[in-house]
Each structure stands twice: as C-alpha cells, then as structure tokens.
Amino acid sequence: MIATALDHLPSPPCARLLGWHLLDARPQEGWIRIGFVGKPDFCNPAGLVQGGILSAMLDDTMGPAVFAMTDGKLYTSTISMTVNFLKPARPGTIIGEARVTQLGKTVAFMEGRLMAEDGTVRAPATASARLVETAKAIAPSVS
C-alpha cells in the first residue's frame, strides 16, 4: 500500500471506535478508501447501523482524503455534509471511499460513499470543509 501523511498521525479515539483503517489511497488524486467495523453496539432497534454512526464514518472518510492529498499540511473542519441513506447498513465490514472534488485556499469540497463488502452503495454524501493548517488544528501530544 502507498505511504500517506495519515501514517504519521496518531489514531484519534473516534477513529478507533469506528474501527477506522486505511485500505488504499491515491493522494495525488485526492482519493481514499477506508475500512470500518459496523459493530453491533452501533445498531438501532431494527438491528441496522444507526444513521448518525454512518455519517461519522463518512466524515472520517472525506476529511482524510484532503489530509492525504495535502501531505498532512491541511486539516478539515466540516462546514456542511449531506448524506443520502439508500440502503440499510448491517453490522460488519463497511467500506468508505472519498475524493476531493475541489481544493481551494480556505475551503475543500468532497464527495464520499459507504458500501457493503460486496460494493453495494449504502450512503453517498457530499461535504464542504474549512481548511486549517494542521499545526494549528492538532495540538502536539504531551508526554
């Protein structure tokens, strides 16, 4: 797998909770593929992964596409995100893909989608995010 700036970023608690793991990336193209674990704890009473959790997975796919594309120089703060829930997501492996559609000086536009392991799209999304210098957005860890 290709090396990205994400390799040097400590995994945040929310990413660990979602089972986030990098599957593939083409940073020059602003494209990324992320794997998630749809845990039974994430399910609604119908036994399906709750929409808010799916939205968090999408957010945690689209933002890293920008981070990887800018070689870790820019961090995203989501301004808006629109999600369409096409099919229910069941517990298990969920795959996220995203690409940067436009990278400006202060705002990025992205699109993403979540899929089942068989490639069936469960939820597509679009988002805009404010761009922040990573050094200003992420506090250095205190040892």
Q: How confident is the model at residue 139 (pLDDT cuts 50, 70, 90)?
A: low
Task: Measure CA 79 to chain center.
Answer: 15
Edge to edge, the sheet with strand 121-133 lists 21-26, 31-38, 92-103, 107-116, 121-133, 74-83
Residue 33, beta-bridge partner list = 24, 97
Across the range 76-96, mean pLDDT stands at: 97
- Residue 48's contacts (CB-CB under 8 Å, 6 or more residues apart) are 88, 89, 90
Across the range 86-97, mean pLDDT stands at: 97
Query: How much is the pLDDT for 140?
Result: 63
CA–CA separation, 89 and 14 (whole Å): 19
Whether 11 has a pLDDT exceeding 90, the answer reads no
Q: 16-30: per-residue pLDDT in tens?
A: 999 999 999 999 999
